[in-house]
Amino acid sequence: MVRSRTAINAIIGAVVGVVLSFIPLSPLLGGVVAGFLEGPDHRDGTVVGALAGAIAFLPIAAAGVFAFGVLGLGLAGGIPVSGIAFLSIVIVSGILFLLLYTVGLSALGGYLGAYLAVEYPNRRRRTRETIGFETDTRTRTADAAPIRDRESEPEWGVERDQDRERERDR
């Protein structure tokens, strides 16, 4: 069952994938964003990434249906039936390839985003706060990082600053 939070994360990931569509492998980036926002569970990250890819595929499918309609209607009287059948197979094969490309890379990105959420729980919490999402760990314990990660992860640059201070003190 898809929760509303998952759907919102999938829509955010789809928007990122569509906005960055001029970059190769942009569905991967959209999936990473969706998986990172979803949380540290790899399965949930993969599911939300695949949903983000399916949502991002909708404009591609609409363009394919439009092209199929224009080419199919325009060529109905001028090309033999076998030519229309071949053209139909080519267009449908192209759409299926794009579906697998978009949804597959987004699912992979969702998995990687969930991995990043495990590695950087403080970053995830701050990102969710910036967007305006709820960050209370009592509502869902699966979103909380393991205790050892929360205690041992230093803030960005703090460890480097501590190393510099040690070097200076020597």
pTM for this predicted structure:
0.70
Q: pLDDT for 29-69, tens place per residue?
A: 999 999 999 988 999 999 999 999 999 999 888 887 887 77
Q: What is the pLDDT of residue 76?
A: 58
% of the chain surpassing 90 pLDDT? 42
CA distance 143 to 61: 34
CA distance 53 to 93: 18
Q: How confident is the model at residue 139 (pLDDT cuts 50, 70, 90)?
A: very low
* Contacts with 123 (C-beta within 8 Å, 6 or more apart), sequence order: 156
% of the chain surpassing 70 pLDDT? 75
The residue among 81, 104, 88 whose CA lies nearest residue 28 is 104
* Contacts with 152 (C-beta within 8 Å, 6 or more apart), sequence order: none
